[in-house]
Structure 1
């Protein structure tokens, strides 16, 4: 995966299918194999977006049931060093 070798994906799937912990994951890959294979070839990534979503979910989990939108927004904006608009 790190070397982005799409042609090795089929071989990896065949190998990983034999590992019980990974068999379900491989089944999911095979459901949309063309999209997964293309993701290895594409130079684009949504890692930045996923990182921001993960950060927001972590903040919300830390706040438990107090995480109403206003408080969550205030906390996110304050953390980034920007002041919330009045």
Structure 2
């Protein structure tokens, strides 16, 4: 379903999971946001660039932990 980018098959998979006797998959299926999960492999765009920026900011924050306040962190994020 994911490698072939066929998100429209998700509702059938969720119905199959609900009928099976696998409690961990039932819990997963109950917590899924159907529209978001169907859109992921179906639509042609992604959030890779945004995730890259978030990852970069988190790395800067971790490296600076305990060393300075928000003002320095803000300056490093904006200048990097």
Q: TM-score range by the shorter chain?
A: 0.5 to 0.7
Q: Map Cα deviations across residues 49-77 of structure 1 (whole Å, 9 max, x no partner).
A: 01210121122012112243443345443
Q: TM-score, normalised by structure 1?
A: 0.58
Q: Describe the shift of the 1:70–1:26 C-alpha distance in structure 2 as closer, same or farther (beyond 3 A).
A: same
CA RMSD of aligned residues (A): 2.9
Q: TM-score, normalised by structure 2?
A: 0.61
CA distance in structure 2 between the partners assigned to 1:47 and 1:57 by the alignment: 15
Count of matched residue pairs: 74
Who is 2:54 aligned against? 53
Higher RCO (CA < 8 A, seq sep 6+): 2
Q: Describe the shift of the 1:66–1:53 C-alpha distance in structure 2 as closer, same or farther (beyond 3 A).
A: same
CA distance in structure 2 between the partners assigned to 1:37 and 1:67 by the alignment: 42
